Structure 1
Amino acid sequence: MDDPKYSKFNVSTTVYKNVNGQDIDLGVMIPKDAHAGPRPILVHFHGGFLVAGHAMYPEWFANWAIDYSLLHSAIVVSPNYRLFPESTGLEILSDIRDFWTWIQDDLPAYLKSVGSEVTPDYSKVSAYGESAGGYLAIMSALTQPDLVKAVIAAYPMTYIDSDWYCVASTTKFPFGSPQVPVAVFEEHVKGTPKGKIFTGAFPPERMELAISILQSGGFTGLGDDESLFLDRVLEKLNADRRMPFLFAFHGTEDSAVPCEQTKKFVGKWEEKFGKGSVVGKWEKGDHGVDNETTLEEPWLQAGLTGVTKAWID
């Protein structure tokens, strides 16, 4: 948490949930120059294929996103959550629901407890996530539409029941990785004590496991409940209800998460909620296409303009 990337924030952590006697925590970052009183909230969901990653891992919190939150003096809240394969998809989503309950019920008191004079402005809440975090950010938009005003989904996992995730293949090379034996996945599952959960891992920890799961089609283990799948949740919503603005972007050469699936989902969103409800941007590059991107980048500004209007204005 003392990473230079976070130097303009006061950073703290707290527990928002306990499962089987094991804590699940979150990080809160308050801009040091934020004035007292109501401030916007930016929720950040970390990526990692739902298998790896950590709420406070700085390498996966894009520089432009740090600058964007500082620009609006936003309170940044980043939760950990249970990870697959020790936990199911429904268990992961239950953590996200409980996190949003914490945001609404407990964040004000927590801010006071750490001596801050800022307060959350619940009329200005946005969600941002990359990869698996993009999936969770979009799911938050679909399930918390009265609270979340805008979503930024960076190269998100969208169709997690597709062949890419659920069918074994020797032609998937995420990040240029060679084939990882399925035994890595299988032995991990066998060696995990019943009831043991994992809620955060700084890469490279668990990344080999994530790649083994992907290449072996192991994401079927997330479950088959319809509430897990973004497109099915989207289909059941009333087209006339107010929904958050969605800005999604993806590298066209992404080797880890298919760009075409994000394009398809953006099309479904626009078809459901109309033009102006979503902006999709497709830029040449692999997973993490925004690694060197600044707030001044025209394609990024094209999407953030809509986010800012829905979130702040």
Structure 2
Amino acid sequence: MDDPKYSKFNVSTTVYKTVNGQDIDLGVMTPKAAHPGPRPILVRFHGGFLVCGHALHAEWFANWALDYALLHSAIIVSPNYRLFPESTGLEILSDIRDFWTWIQNDLPAYLKSVGSEVTPDFSKVLAFGESAGGYLAIMSGLTQPDLVSAVVAAYPVTYLDSDWYRVASTTKSPMGAPQVPVSVFEEHVKGTPEGKIVTGSFPPERLMLAVSILQSGGFVGLGDDDSLFPDRVLEKLSAEQKVPFLFAFHGTEDSAVPCGQTRFFVGKWEEEVREGECGGEVGEGGSWG
């Protein structure tokens, strides 16, 4: 990527998984002035309602994360993943699991192959993301507790089983968007060849599709398995389960993702972890906005 925003980084891409003969890739960014040797890892998941977005879309890449990586000579890894509605929620999460396997098994050799002098420090792994990316960061923290030390979730999607995502309504106007006909969603599904996957799109591509899905309650199509929902996963943690530190922030006027749901989820995190119901390491949550 030659975007000026990434000018202080060496940026490369590689495939971490193939589905139906279609590659799913990720981006690796290392500061050009990085100190050699073991460096922290920042894993960033892009947002976009699980419908759109791309791992290296510069406009949606948080400046603080780039600044933090430069300050600490940290390695940034940002994966693409299968998108809805071509793929289900369980399929998306399977990509995230396989991505973390790649991080542990293949990242060191990959860095060496592209001539980098930095190596990953697996004792310092931060997962972060915005919106749907915040959801995937939280899910990573809950399912990879031995690897992920901390999670930063920016205006994260948390309660995918709530009416906001699963019940049609004419009052939803994410980011001030007008009402988009449900036919946009329906015709897209009808026109998708069997077995086709989509693993990334650069906005505004697919944005109106995401709005149509939200307004029509179409996220019910993600599935109902308990493993899709962070609060249900949190409730089922064993007493010995480790959990990472959690920091969540959310603007109170967010029209796309309900701020109140973030507050409620942070409260559940604190309740489950602070009172010792989950045991292990204490994870703390905060909301700001």
* Normalised-by-shorter TM-score class: over 0.9
Contact 1:240 1:273 (C-alpha < 8 Å) held by counterparts: no
CA distance in 1 between counterparts of 2:20 and 2:237 reads 34
1:54 matches 2:60 = no
Following TM superposition, the consecutive aligned residue runs of length 4 or more in structure 1 with deviations greater than 2 angstroms are: 238-242
Give the superposition deviation at 1:231: 0.4
Deviations 1:64-118 (A, max 9, x none): 1211121111100000000000000000000000000000000011001101111
Match of 2:7 in 1: 7
CA distance in 2 between counterparts of 1:281 and 1:4 reads 31
Question: TM-score, structure 1 length as denominator?
Answer: 0.89
1:116 matches 2:116 = yes
Match of 2:288 in 1: 282
Contact 1:247 1:280 (C-alpha < 8 Å) held by counterparts: yes
Unaligned segments of structure 1, at least 5 residues: 284-313
Describe the SS at the equivalent of 1:87.
coil
- Matched to 1:5, the amino acid is K
CA distance in 2 between counterparts of 1:114 and 1:80 reads 20
Describe the SS at the equivalent of 2:288.
strand
Deviations 1:196-230 (A, max 9, x none): 00000000000000000000000000001110001
- Matched to 1:105, the amino acid is N
Question: TM-score, structure 2 length as denominator?
Answer: 0.96
Match of 2:179 in 1: 179
Describe the SS at the equivalent of 2:250.
strand
Give the superposition deviation at 1:148: 0.1
Contact 1:239 1:272 (C-alpha < 8 Å) held by counterparts: no
- Matched to 2:118, the amino acid is V
Match of 2:229 in 1: 229
Query: Percent identity at matched positions?
Result: 81
Describe the SS at the equivalent of 2:56.
coil
Describe the SS at the equivalent of 2:287.
strand
Unaligned segments of structure 2, at least 5 residues: 276-281
CA distance in 2 between counterparts of 1:201 and 1:108 reads 28
- Matched to 2:267, the amino acid is G
CA distance in 1 between counterparts of 2:101 and 2:126 reads 15
Contact 1:52 1:83 (C-alpha < 8 Å) held by counterparts: yes
Match of 2:246 in 1: 246
CA distance in 1 between counterparts of 2:123 and 2:64 reads 23
Give the superposition deviation at 1:241: 3.2
Structure 1 range deviating more: 232-241 or 251-260: 232-241
Match of 1:290 in 2: none
Describe the SS at the equivalent of 1:279.
coil
Deviations 1:277-310 (A, max 9, x none): 3232231xxxxxxxxxxxxxxxxxxxxxxxxxxx
Match of 1:101 in 2: 101
Deviations 1:235-256 (A, max 9, x none): 0012553311000000001100
CA distance in 2 between counterparts of 1:10 and 1:146 reads 28
Give the superposition deviation at 1:263: 0.3
Describe the SS at the equivalent of 2:285.
strand
Describe the SS at the equivalent of 1:281.
coil
* Matched positions, count: 283
Describe the SS at the equivalent of 1:280.
coil
- Matched to 2:36, the amino acid is A
Describe the SS at the equivalent of 1:25.
strand
